[in-house]
Amino acid sequence: MMITARPSFMKTPCLASAFRSFHFPMLWDLGIGNFHSACLLFTYSFHSSSRSTSTHTHKDASLISKFNSASFRDVDDVLASFNHIILMHPLPSIVHFSRFLSALVRMKQYHTVLSLSRTIESLGISHNVHSLNILINCFCRLHLVDFGFSIFGKILKIGMDPDIVTFNTLINGLCIEGKINGAVDFFNDMVARGCQPNVCTYTVIVSGLCKFGKTNVAIWLLKEMIERGARCCNLHCNHRCPLQG
């Protein structure tokens, strides 16, 4: 059901850009190119010094296990594991890399996630919806929701189907930037596309509405959520709610 009981909300330019801007934003545009270069320099240096080693040592096994379990002490630990893993043949799948990036998100290392994702792409590993949702979340957390919509455009362009987490994350990103009008419009767009809102969706949009004094619409939505019996996204997917970081 569309949100209709709302005062003259304006359309946001973010929605239009989602359909005309499909290029993945360059990290140089975000001011984090230096970190990316440093990371690659460390990667290539590590590669050169490790190429002669043909057998897995106990340390190798430990790093591989740590990468697969996505259990790290700090960012240095993350980079050490990453730079070791990308020397593997065959390389881990995007599923494993997504779990790795999710661990960095939990550490709030959003710039690092965006930087390393470029390295992952350069290795010829294709993204899936889950990994792209992670990138969208990072852009939104950095108050760069327009870049998040650029990723949304990429999802549509390559023929993937955005899932409920994609929509929830972008709605949350709009709310983070105070673009509640755009969040409501995108909520309506989501419903029009046939993607049914869940508890996380309602939580995000209701929180944003209340924050900007639109409690009447928020109350109406809560009643709708109860009537619809909306389910939490965690009941049918393995992705984190955007409110969780």
131: tokens are: 């990994």
Domains along the sequence of the chain with CATH: 24-126 (no CATH), 162-245 (1.25.40.10)
Can you give the pLDDT at residue 59? 67
Q: What is the pLDDT of residue 34?
A: 41
Say which residue the tokens 């001011």 belong to: 31
pLDDT (0 to 100) of residue 212: 86
In 3D space, the residue among 190, 134, 93 whose CA is nearest the CA of residue 204 turns out to be: 190
Return the pLDDT at 218. 85
* Structure confidence at residue 42 (pLDDT): 44
pLDDT per residue rounded down to tens, the chain (245 residues): 555 544 333 344 344 344 333 344 444 344 444 444 344 444 444 444 444 344 456 667 776 776 777 777 788 888 888 888 898 888 989 999 999 999 999 999 999 999 999 999 999 999 999 999 999 999 999 999 999 999 999 999 999 999 999 999 999 999 999 999 999 999 999 989 889 899 899 999 999 999 888 888 888 888 877 877 666 554 444 445 555 55
